[in-house]
A and B are shown apart, each in its own frame.
Chain A
Amino acid sequence: MAIAAFIAKRLIQGVFTVWFIATATFFAMHNVPGDPLLNERAMTDAIRANVEAKYGLDKPLGTQYAIYLSNLARGDFGISFTQENRQVNDIIREHFPVSAILGVLAVLFAAVGGILWGALTALYRNRIPDYLIMFFVILGISVPSFVIAALGQLAIVNMNGALGITLFPVAGWGTLAHMLVPSMVLGLGTMAYLTRLMRSSMLEIVSSDYVRTAKAKGMPPARIFAKHQLRNAILPVITVLGPAIAAITTGGFVVELVFAIPGLGRYFVQAVQQLDYTVIMGTTVFYGAFLVFMVIFVDVLYGLIDPRVRVG
């Protein structure tokens, strides 16, 4: 079956990409100047040898690489260098769900908003609502995410000050009120991008043959809009959902940092700043695998919806 072969081909490519990411991460970390054991206090040669033996650091690079790969294959990412007794797996298990909730909310917000606003701009083409929305879209594309995050935080502070009650907390995590503003901030750039895409795809369809035919047959405009334009215009939006998820995942690094959300993104950035090698390696491979398979998932989804893709 064509679709099964398509999925299998993409999956094999995905596994290969993830392997490359893991290998690149391993050798990149080995290339880092310095020695992770240097910071330890007065370490005798015997202790040092023990530690090196424990972590396999005395073995040749090839053997270390093999150990690393076999650990990875068993899903073992190792132990943190800076946080005592903390497994990288635990860190991922504990903090990834937070990032995932934030990301899912942001993707939902971006997709629904993008489709809605894009359809509106096409409907009101070259009239005031179109200009107004496109003005904000261009702003959304041009303003960096950390500025949007800072402005969002500033807006919360001012609003809470004006109302005298804490409607939305400025930072932190826990309730839906915590999640709302950060996920909106996170999704805003993607939403702007999707709005633009949706608009051009809607406008392309307006001048298509089947819409003209539907009009000629006397179909009510509202029905044409909903049945023919909207449904077909959403297709290209789905193709960019893969990159959009990637953008939102990496955008999460900044938003989690600014809003003090205990997600994996913030841990990743912290690990990078503190040079916590195992955490960097583990989260990079995890994020890499997540992103690669997300893109594949969206591709397969698109292949199921639009059979033309599978051929290519």
Chain B
Amino acid sequence: MSSGHIYNFSPLKRSEISQSQSRPSLSYWQDAWIRLKANTRALISLYLIIGLLIFTVFGPLIWSVDPAAQDLDQISRPPGQDRRALIVPEYSPWIDSWLELEAGSGQGLRLIGEPTTQSIRLGWDPINTVSGYRVYRNIYPIGIERAYGIPRAEFFDSQIVSFEDRLDLKEGTYYFTLVPMDSTGQLTDSTETLEVKVRRVTTVREARQKGLIGSTENLEVGDSVDLAFHPLGTDYLGRDMLARLMAGARVSLFIGIGAPLFFVTFGILFGATAGFLGGKTDQIMMRFADFIVALPFLLFMILFKIAFGIGPGESGIGPMLVALVVLMWPATARLVRGQILQIREQGYISASQLLGAKTPYLILRHMLPNTLGVVLVTLTFAVPSAIFTEAFLSFIGMGVAPPTPSWGSMSNEGIKTMLTTPHELIFPAVFISVTVLAFNLLGDGLRDALDARMRNQD
């Protein structure tokens, strides 16, 4: 055993010493991405947000309707409604009314001719005992409370038995009520109500003017033409909802993503400086941050808005962005400072210092990258709160100035006509809710994926 055995001190071949890795080494971000991918809710939210960004950035290129253009033929139209209009001759004044009235006498309140959006012609039988008539128009049936609607005409002569209504007629149903007045001018109860279904019409000239038909195309009376297409309907001024939602998305998302980007950046710088310098400077800096936190946030947003009010023609996006940044940075600063204070004590920092690393290198190479996970989570959660703030301020009329659309100001306009045309409120509200929801869920997912300590208990 002892003799004859030769110890071999020659080097091994390289292939014999190579360690085998059981799995590839993953960086922090690769690991986080794998965990995020496993979270279905967060992943769907991420796709939703990407979709929203595409909608915002590329939408107006595809659907290039001017969000400020008014389509007066289609005001407050819900989406998916019939938009055919019959071509009729140009309007001509109602002159041969007597003959037409004679023909239908004895039928009470009646229509003469076809009711169209061009004109509605009414006739009735004279009542010799009264002193005159009033004609009312309503868009709702006359209920037990006898709401006749708006007065359209008043005649102080019992022999006037016709009325032509041309005021702002829309396709749909109107309820006309004829109320005779007694000798003292008081309204009597012997009213007559007529339900009128109005048909949408247009003339060749109007259709050509609005570009609904080409100048070479020839249309005859009796043909029909499609009015302008609004996939999501129109608002109370006849503006295209889809175009406005896209333009509003630009404003809402610019404020919602832009402001957090700015104030998170400032918060990182402030917090990192305070945390790194430590001591007295840190105390003073954080006192200042605490002070900002103590200010009532929305009140100061409103004050800021009043003080740096917006001039004519301005949208008010700039002041709102500045106010958000000024008031919202301290949360990030506190968080980053806490992180930096922790990281400062870590072994790898001392090791790096031992190897001769300078302060800027330490901050840039070690401290900031290690806080990035937490910062990304804060950023994601800051987006919904910024969007909410914009919507809230625009809703109370303190946000973006009209005609610049934002989802908040669109909701504010939509809520006024909520009962008759709910789509004007529903679309912007859904966009706000879905965006906020997506960012909240993505934030949850990122927090679970990036930060082990903040991980949810699920």
User: Would you give the 0/1 interface string for B413-435, flagging 1 where the beta carbon is closer than 8 Å to chain A?
Assistant: 00100110010010001001110
CB of B225 closer than 8 Å to a CB of A: no
CB of B300 closer than 8 Å to a CB of A: yes
Q: How far is the CA of A27 from the CA of B388 in the complex (A)?
A: 27
Q: Which of B32-40, B116-124, B162-170, B288-296 contacts A (4 or more CB under 8 A)?
A: B288-296
Which residue in B304, B306, B418 is a CB contact (below 8 Å) of A154?
B418
CB of B328 closer than 8 Å to a CB of A: no
Given A144-B392, A275-B306, check contact A138 B440 (CB 8 Å): yes
Residues from chain B with a CB closer than 8 A to the CB of A273 are 396-398
Name A237-270 residues within 8 Å CB distance of B: 246, 250, 253-254, 257-258, 269
Which residue in B295, B304, B432 is a CB contact (below 8 Å) of A147?
B432
CB-based contact B392/A145 at 8 Å: yes
CB-based contact B433/A144 at 8 Å: yes
Given A147-B425, A254-B395, check contact A246 B296 (CB 8 Å): yes
CB-based contact B396/A257 at 8 Å: yes
Give chain A's interface secondary structure class: helix
CB-based contact A17/B295 at 8 Å: yes
Which residue in A20, A29, A200, A250 is a CB contact (below 8 Å) of B299?
A250
CB distance from B16 to the nearest CB of A (A): 48
CB-based contact B437/A138 at 8 Å: yes
CB of B204 closer than 8 Å to a CB of A: no
Name A5-54 residues within 8 Å CB distance of B: 13-14, 17, 20-21, 24-25, 27-29, 31-33
Given A31-B307, A146-B395, check contact A17 B294 (CB 8 Å): yes
CB of B201 closer than 8 Å to a CB of A: no
Q: How far is the CA of A147 from the CA of B299 in the complex (A)?
A: 21
Given A145-B392, A200-B457, check contact A150 B415 (CB 8 Å): yes
Given A25-B303, A28-B304, A288-B299, check contact A17 B440 (CB 8 Å): no
Name A268-299 residues within 8 Å CB distance of B: 269, 272-273, 275, 280, 284, 287-288, 291-292, 295
User: Would you give the 0/1 interface string for A141-159, flagging 1 where the beta carbon is closer than 8 Å to chain B?
Assistant: 1111111001001100100
Which residue in A153, A203, A253, A288 is a CB contact (below 8 Å) of B457?
A203
Residues from chain B with a CB closer than 8 A to the CB of A17 are 291, 294-295
Q: How far is the CA of A12 from the CA of B412 in the complex (A)?
A: 40
CB of B372 closer than 8 Å to a CB of A: no
Residues from chain A with a CB closer than 8 A to the CB of B397 are 269, 272-273
Given A138-B437, A154-B418, A287-B296, check contact A147 B411 (CB 8 Å): yes
User: Would you give the 0/1 interface string for B442-458, flagging 1 where the beta carbon is closer than 8 Å to chain A?
Assistant: 00000000000000111
- When C-beta atoms are compared, the residue in chain A nearest to B414 turns out to be A150
CB-based contact B306/A144 at 8 Å: no
Residues from chain B with a CB closer than 8 A to the CB of A288 are 295-296, 299
CB-based contact A13/B418 at 8 Å: no
- When C-beta atoms are compared, the residue in chain B nearest to A265 turns out to be B396
* Interface-centre pick from A31, A250, A295 (highest chain B CB count, 10 A): A250
Q: How far is the CA of A2 from the CA of B327 in the complex (A)?
A: 32
CB-based contact A32/B306 at 8 Å: yes
Which residue in B294, B391, B429 is a CB contact (below 8 Å) of A13?
B294
CB of B441 closer than 8 Å to a CB of A: yes
- When C-beta atoms are compared, the residue in chain B nearest to A288 turns out to be B296
CB distance from A133 to the nearest CB of B (A): 14
CB distance from A237 to the nearest CB of B (A): 16
CB-based contact B440/A28 at 8 Å: no
CB of B50 closer than 8 Å to a CB of A: no
CB-based contact B306/A292 at 8 Å: no
Q: How far is the CA of A139 from the CA of B422 in the complex (A)?
A: 20
Given A153-B418, A200-B456, A273-B397, 5 other A-B contacts at CB below 8 A?
A21-B296, A27-B307, A257-B396, A258-B415, A272-B396
- In the assembled complex, 19 residue pairs joining A and B whose CB atoms fall closer than 8 Å, in A order, are A21-B296, A29-B306, A32-B309, A33-B311, A142-B440, A143-B432, A143-B433, A146-B415, A150-B415, A150-B429, A153-B418, A250-B298, A250-B299, A250-B392, A269-B397, A272-B302, A273-B397, A288-B295, A288-B299
Which positions in A face B, CB cutoff 8 Å? Answer: 13-14, 17, 20-21, 24-25, 27-29, 31-33, 126, 138-139, 141-147, 150, 153-154, 157, 200, 203-204, 246, 250, 253-254, 257-258, 269, 272-273, 275, 280, 284, 287-288, 291-292, 295
